[in-house]
Chains A and B, each alone.
Chain A
């Protein structure tokens, strides 16, 4: 198979420690366009693969928008849109605006965290080349995979395969596009 039709090369491992060490070696070799697959979150694996996430910043922004928006809504409703004088109490009675401000801060931050994590991961995505690999079913059960993608700058079908073999995996498989 030539590189044109190849999504990448995947190596299968039996333990998460082997996958972690393989990821570290691959990163050291200079591979960047790669991903590890494990049936549970392996500590240190994303860092070993050089993955980073901007999610916390997005959540912070979402929370601030929610909080400011909620306070503004209550202020606008009570002072501008529909002011009613009840027993001479202050219009801008901020302590009673606190609970809703808090709740909407949490709501917007929570929605951002959830949808942010999905959208940044490109989910929902029902089809992916890796699903062509019959043994990939076990990534959600008991096996660990390292996939180096063909659009990595230093990817070379032959050399990469040899490199993956050197990591002592159960086997190395081609992932068609």
Chain B
């Protein structure tokens, strides 16, 4: 509580530092309600966007057009335009699906798990990472649908009373996936919108132009910051966080069961669920950093997204990265320790087979480079951190390539072996989905407050919440 004579409008923070030399306050500089409202709100309400926004948006939009082209051609010609065939029937589509859904996980981790753990530093990045989660799930969800062969009958995987008198196979992990990803998207959307609601009312009340008043007014649903509303809002928010926490762990576990339930060497492993979940959070934090580092520079948000936030995210990446590296080690160890010739051969083939170079690239980008995060100097250097984050993004994509393709291309009988070579349409769909993701993200930055204004105001009003112990 503030002293009675100390108004939050005039309160300011001294600048103590944490043992590692970071500012101990989550809000740097002197912040008031109005400065927070203005810093975040003006990005959305101002007319002109920085040149970097336009360059980024046009680039992303061009990639999105390429995506539409690739998908249109796919719908016309079928999945034969991709490099997939027997034995590698799961090509880039599944690699990309797992990559995107993994990226989505950081948003939920930041917004739900860190909320339950009372980590106030989350409030500067949670809105942003929740939006990232939604867009990443949207990208992820498209890939299995496009891979169906006849995407226009995708609704056959849903249980509904159909004229064929059939049901989905509820014992199949692929059907579990539909429920897991569908629930994940829905709950993430509700969680995101619920958190956005008070900020939409701030936008409505600050809007200058008529269209802005109407746009934010409709979206705000008449929110009026009443104590009774806040009470239900906070309760619902907390419950959704509690629900999202086991949900996020279940989603990537179910995704990993798509592999682990199969008999294939390299897939059939009980280690997959925890190892996939750690990898998901790892790649998600890397993606958050990849986006946040340029954005905070372009929009001058260094006072709200401080080096402390970046440092904390780097620490989470280091920890989850070590779990993932341990997973790689155990996978190799078990294939030797099992004494199973197919498992042993899987590992030999993975490391020194035709796709061996991918495995070593994975080791380099995903295990070796991230060790730089042990150094506090790297964690404090935004350029170095950005490079490490990019390296992890690439590394995690390679990991899914190794799991999906090298396991499938040589299984039991040598006469059934084959190679997979991606076509130009595989690449166009992958980079096109990046375009879809970035386009949605740029539109989000343009039209919605990317940092929670109400939570930032809370930190202004109760400065003791903004300091770290």
Chain A residues close to B by CB (< 8 Å): 14-17, 23, 35-42, 45-46, 49, 51, 53, 55-56, 59, 73-74, 77-78, 81-82, 93, 96-97, 99-100, 102-104, 106-107, 109-111, 113-114, 116-118, 120-121, 123-128, 130-131, 136-142
Interface size range on B against A: 35 or more
Task: From known contacts A40-B461, A82-B167, infer whether A120 and B232 are also in contact, taking CB-CB under 8 Å.
Answer: yes
Which 4 pairs across A and B sit closest by C-beta, in order of nearness? Answer: A142-B33, A117-B236, A124-B221, A46-B231
Count of A-B contacts with CB under 8 A? Answer: 200
Residue in A74, A82, A106, A137 whose beta carbon sits within 8 Å of that of B166 in the complex: A82
Question: What residue in chain A is nearest B38 (Cβ atoms)?
Answer: A141
Task: Indicate whether B72 reaches chain A with its CB closer than 8 angstroms.
Answer: no
Q: Is the CB of B34 within 8 A of A38?
A: no
Inter-chain CA distance A39–B2, complex, in Å, is 17
Chain A interface, >50% SS class:
helix
Q: Is the CB of A113 within 8 A of B167?
A: no
Can you list 18 A-B pairs with a CB-CB distance of less than 8 A? A40-B461, A41-B454, A46-B227, A53-B228, A56-B239, A82-B165, A106-B183, A109-B243, A110-B191, A113-B240, A114-B236, A116-B232, A123-B223, A123-B229, A125-B221, A128-B222, A140-B204, A142-B9
Task: From known contacts A17-B2, A40-B458, infer whether A100 and B179 are also in contact, taking CB-CB under 8 Å.
Answer: yes
Task: Indicate whether B117 reaches chain A with its CB closer than 8 angstroms.
Answer: no
Contacts of B234 in A (CB 8 A): 41
Residue in B198, B202, B222, B461 whose beta carbon sits within 8 Å of that of A126 in the complex: B222
Inter-chain CA distance A35–B33, complex, in Å, is 22
Contacts of A136 in B (CB 8 A): 224
Residues 198-221 of B, flagged 1 when their CB comes within 8 A of A and 0 if not, give: 100110111000000000011001
Q: Is the CB of A99 within 8 A of B176?
A: yes
Contacts of A93 in B (CB 8 A): 171
Inter-chain CA distance A115–B222, complex, in Å, is 15
Inter-chain CA distance A114–B243, complex, in Å, is 12
Contacts of B183 in A (CB 8 A): 103-104, 106-107, 110
Q: Is the CB of A113 within 8 A of B170?
A: no
Contacts of B201 in A (CB 8 A): 140
Task: From known contacts A37-B225, A96-B171, A141-B205, infer whether A53 and B176 are also in contact, taking CB-CB under 8 Å.
Answer: no
A36, A53, A113, A123 — most chain B CB neighbours (10 Å): A113
A66 to chain B, nearest CB (A): 10
Task: From known contacts A103-B179, A110-B186, A128-B222, infer whether A51 and B2 are also in contact, taking CB-CB under 8 Å.
Answer: no
Inter-chain CA distance A51–B233, complex, in Å, is 13
Q: Is the CB of B176 within 8 A of A36?
A: no
Inter-chain CA distance A81–B164, complex, in Å, is 12
Inter-chain CA distance A140–B239, complex, in Å, is 24
Question: What residue in chain B is nearest A146 (Cβ atoms)?
Answer: B227
Question: What residue in chain A is nearest B3 (Cβ atoms)?
Answer: A17
Question: What residue in chain A is nearest B33 (Cβ atoms)?
Answer: A142
